[in-house]
Chain A
Amino acid sequence: METVLSSSNKLKEPAGLSSRIQWLRDYYFRGTERAWNNEFTCWTTGTPWDVIYNELTFYIVPETYTLLGTLGASYRQAARPVELHPDFWHWPLVERRAWFVREVIVNCVPQEILPGDLLAGARFNVQTSMCFTAEGSKTWQKLVKGKNGARAQMKRFHDHGYGNAGATSGHLIPGYERLLSLGWKGIHAELMSFYNALNKNERTGPKGAQLRAMITVSTMARDLASRYKSLCENLAQSEPDAHRRTELRTMAANLSRVPWEPATTFWEAVQALWINHMLVMTDENYPGAGVSFGRVDQYLYPYYEKSSRDGMDREWAKEILKCFWIHANTAYDAMIRNGNQGITAGFGQLVTLSGLGAKGLDMTNDLTYVILEVIDEMSPILEPKPNVRLHQKSPEALLDKIVDMIESSQGAPFLLNFDERSMAGMMLEARKAGLADLINRDNVHEYAPVGCLENTMVGNDRSGTVDNNINLLKAVELTLTGGKDLLPFTDPMTGKTESVKQDGPRTPDASFFKTWEDFWRAYEIQTRYIIQKCVDLYEISESIRARFFPTPYLSCLVKGCAEKAKDITQGGAQISFVTLEAVTYATTVDSLLAIKYLVFDKKACTMQELTNALAANWKGFEVLQAMAKNRAPKYGRDDDEADELARKVMQLWCDETWRHTTKATGRRFRPGMLSWNYWAGDGYVMAASADGRTKGQFLSNAICPSNGVDIKGPTSNANSVGKVLGGKAKDGRGDWQDYFNDLPNGASHTITFNPSILRDPSHKDKFKAFLKGYAHNGGTALQINMLDPGMLKDAQAHPQDYRHLLVRITGYNAYFTTVGRELQNEVIERVSHNKF
């Protein structure tokens, strides 16, 4: 066997694109230079009290806090008035909103088709009036912007380092599959029969209003498609190229059927899927964050198979899908003038590929590979974000394809989701909430992730997967101080410093704790407190949304809403959890481990000295800080003792989370770990921590070990993660097979590898084996990153953060940071030149 040590890795470039797709892709990346874009257009009822910005949905994005007022004002200023139906103000809110959104997207927003595009459905980003009456507007303003309103409370929560919470749009998988097979016609008929079954009182009450609103929007996609159909016909008439003319006529024919009628071909199905999907973003006034597609390779497969049988070329299927890919990216145009991609690059319209089916069978099919090829040929591209579901029996061909893509993209252009561990979590939530009729052994494999990796069921589930983000570390701080902030808060805008007040429970003075158990008991109390505080904060925005921001179009696509005649924002979905995402997990565990080690085990300092050190941001306590960093045990090293405490921390906050339910909407809280970018930003908000971290340094990300502490490598890192999620049942009786998983929502996990792990076929096999091992021992989801020269240079500058970087050459081993500067430079040069 020949060992080939070099590969000429270059920055990934798109490949194999037709001139059509190449043009569309290039055009997209011209950004603000484009003549066409999908920027928000704003629409008002024309009243002086109108509100056009549901700011609650951005409460989980701290970067927007200083912009909330400006955005709301500028959307109002830019808004164009819509001529209202004469009865408009006689209708209840949900019907007004339904009519208004429908009117805007069908009759006000222009329809366009880009050159060569095979799919219709261009502009969908809108900010529409919230359709308030004068009185409604006044109440909303007070509840949201009042002195003790939602905004002020949310800001206080974040300023003091607890995290953030808000009732957020998106983050679910609508019932797209069902809609393709029924068509809107079928949904419309269902809604009519539900409405007709209401008695007279119900019809005049909220149930009648809700169903009438849903009936109103159930023809929105049909009427929009009809506009696009006319456009295609007009374009065809003036189109000089015969080939393109035929395409436009087929598009018109597609649009005359779908999405109203059930789809009959692959092209129709993709066309219908796109329009149905983009209108969710229209309805929520929210560009796509977490509105996910689910298992597209499964539910599009019957159409793909039929069209292939009827003579569709495989490459043509890819051409249609590539147009779909371009369309999904236009979500980013929403705030295009704030920067090329608006405020955030994390929109996460997730597609799920492969995974288990019934009876433990693998569901990979030809469409799985078609879509992977589309991703490979289009990348780098942002949307839709792919998530490939792996399990113990994933086929070798799929793993080979995945590994090849990771190699050529210098990191995975998708997330990997692991079925067995994920399904154990879904079974747990079914058990906890008594939902065995909806989630059980026979259907749990139908789950799919939304956004990034948040596991939910499909078409009947909204579980608020990103709505609550709590810094577990705050409970450690409150334990040290007896329930107060360690540092007084200074407002960065005004420069004013607040005096420190009692906030959490008055647990005993930590300096009198005699044993570690004393500390732990107080920590338990403070953990309960911070979770209660988060739940209380969430209730504010959740109850306001339920009262003021119905989304009747989305409600049509989620089972339970029509049946109960209840909007999805009011808890209408059959499965309606809300998720509490724990942030700072490893920093919290490592801090607790350090307190135990420094104060109780080694007696290297007193509790008071430690608290003083943290208040001083470790200045003057460098030796103690070094001990905390280097001598105290850490989570993520497969050290059973440290991981046992990590497990205790996990069980405590999870048990506490399950105890809560929203009052306004009856949604049970469930636990997850997705830190999005908070672990970076909140590092500047939170005081120094006992693990040796200074204020301003990043916190730990989701379920990952703290930065740089996983010095035992990827397998130990994976083992620790699997253990703290609950590991496996010794008797084989876990929640799914022998697996346990305390986090039904899933846990974000990232591991960085050196590109050389994929340098030849035998090493690729080893990497594949790592993924298979991860399916057994690891967590629910994994992002694979590849080391780059930038990271190595950072390691030179901040060796303390990179103690885990191991340099290995046959017969030789050393940690990168212990190698001298000159040789470090040589290593960097090698990595650089292989990459560029």
Chain B
Amino acid sequence: MTHQKMQKGTILEIIRMSTEDGPGIRTTIFFKGCPLACRWCHNPESISAKPQIQWIQTSCIGCGICVETCPEKALTHTAEGITINRAVCTDCGVCTEECPTTAMELLGKKWSIPDLASEVVKDRVFFEQSGGGVTLSGGEPTLQKDFCLGLLKELRGKGIQTALDTCGQVPQSILAELLPYVDVLLYDLKEIDSKKHKTFTGVGNEKILSNAVFAAHFKKTHPYPKTLWIRTPIIPGTTDRADNIQRLGDFIRTNLAGAVDRWELCAFNNLCRDKYARLGMDWPYADQALPERSFMEQLTGIAKNCVPQTSVCWSGSTKLNQNTSTGLPDKSTGVPLIGC
């Protein structure tokens, strides 16, 4: 137990009153580090397991303190603002501690299990009223397996409902260890074609599919997890093929029968474009338009036909109608979610 208390996890962010990461009102913990490198990733700052520095232009007052304090001389003050020489920067975080505005930000902070658990149970009342709880997301929480397990146990001990949001690229033994402490499993199935999966994410999908079967079986034969939601990102020119949805649906119907409570198709969005720029990364989807609403509905129709016994839905933003100059409400518009 003492060992567990000493353990630290690398956490990107904690979002409270999340309404998008499982049932009810949730506090979502974004873990840092992911075994996949999806080319469309919306949270690129979560891929690397290590803490990373970023600079946020809108918060910067140009005082130059970061440049002066950087022990590696990795920062320069240019006309465009602060540039980080990634080859030199060790992500030590000294500049982020000295920055008066928090424009220099360290992505990824160390948390102990007791501290993190007591932080995320603060909304207990709201969880209870909504059937919500805490979601472990990322990144890939299972990459920090011991921390993840310790945290799940701690939360279970406090009577908090837990959700695990996983990409499934994880040794089965780890999954078997974690699942008894998971109330809601959010499981990503992105691409049915393993070759394509490897192209898009860096790994084939064999382990992901077999783990899905394992998790579904586990759910049916054990008290936990109680709920299983499958989520599929609909990425233009990538996973958004009718045949992908059709075959994923066939897979779910055939191999996960009776275990899936919900299948959600998540529309691509482009709001993360600036995150890539800030991290000094290129993003192949920078100029990609959002999907049409009718297209999302069409894919949802295909999905529904595949798994008539399962609840199917889609979420996210869709393309703005260009005829908005008429001033008429545009029914094809999705709503961005802005909580404050």
Give A contacts to B, CB under 8 Å.
1-3, 5-10, 622-624, 626-627, 629-631, 638, 710, 712-716, 719, 751-757, 759, 763, 765-766, 769-770, 772-773, 776-777, 787, 799, 804-814, 816-820, 823, 826-827, 829-831, 833-834, 836
Contacts and interface: CB of A to CB of B under 8 A. Distances in A.
A631 B337 contact: no
A627 B97 CA distance: 11
A1 B313 contact: yes
9 contacts: A3-B315, A623-B61, A713-B16, A770-B130, A806-B340, A810-B264, A811-B42, A827-B338, A830-B320
A765 B272 CA distance: 29
A748 to B, nearest CB: 18
Contact of B274 (A627, A715, A773, A820): A820
B269 interface: yes
A715 B332 CA distance: 31
B56 to A, nearest CB: 5
A782 to B, nearest CB: 14
B337 A769 contact: no
Contacts of B221: none
A833 B320 contact: yes
A818 B102 contact: no
Contact of B336 (A10, A763, A807): A807
A834 B329 contact: yes
Given A830-B335, A833-B329, A814 B16 contact: no
A507 B13 CA distance: 44
Interface string B317-340: 110100010010111111111111
Contacts of B24: 766, 769
Nearest to A822: B273
Contacts of B123: 715-716, 719, 773
A5 B324 contact: no
B164 interface: no
Contacts of A757: 19, 337, 339
Interface string B42-59: 110000000000001011
B318 A623 contact: no
B19 A766 contact: yes
Contacts of A766: 19, 24-25, 130, 132
Contact of A622 (B18, B61, B132, B231): B61
Given A712-B16, A765-B130, A819-B271, A756 B333 contact: no
Contact of A5 (B16, B275, B316): B316
Interface string B18-45: 1110001100001000000000001100
Given A766-B130, A830-B320, A6 B334 contact: yes
Contacts of A753: 339-340
A626 B316 CA distance: 36
A712 B313 CA distance: 29
A269 B225 CA distance: 59
Given A623-B65, A631-B102, A811 B233 contact: yes
A428 to B, nearest CB: 22
Interface of B: 13, 15-20, 24-25, 30, 42-43, 56, 58-59, 61, 63, 65, 100-102, 122-123, 125-126, 128-132, 231, 233, 262, 264, 266-267, 269-275, 277, 293, 311, 313-318, 320, 324, 327, 329-340
B25 A811 contact: no
A752 B17 CA distance: 13
A615 B338 CA distance: 37
Nearest to A2: B313
Contacts of B339: 713-714, 753-754, 757, 806, 808
Contacts of A10: 329
B313 A715 contact: no
A776 B56 CA distance: 37
Given A5-B318, A754-B339, A816-B338, A713 B273 contact: no
B102 A808 contact: no
Contacts of A631: 100, 102
Contact of A833 (B65, B311, B324): B324
A773 B272 contact: no
Nearest to B58: A799
Contact of B25 (A622, A769, A817, A830): A769
Indicate the member of B56, B126, B329 with the most A CB atoms within 10 Å.
B126
Contacts of B275: 814
A745 B320 CA distance: 47
A3 B269 CA distance: 17
Given A3-B313, A5-B318, A806-B15, 6 more contacts: A630-B102, A710-B340, A713-B17, A769-B129, A773-B25, A808-B336
Given A799-B58, A809-B271, A756 B100 contact: no
Contacts of A836: 327, 329
B163 to A, nearest CB: 14
A805 B126 CA distance: 20
Contacts of B293: 6
B274 A6 contact: no
Contacts of A814: 271-272, 274-275
Contact of B337 (A1, A8, A807, A817): A807
A713 B43 contact: no
Contacts of B59: 630, 799, 817-818
A613 to B, nearest CB: 13
Contacts of A630: 59, 100-102
A770 B132 CA distance: 11
Contacts of B63: 622-623, 626
B58 A773 contact: no
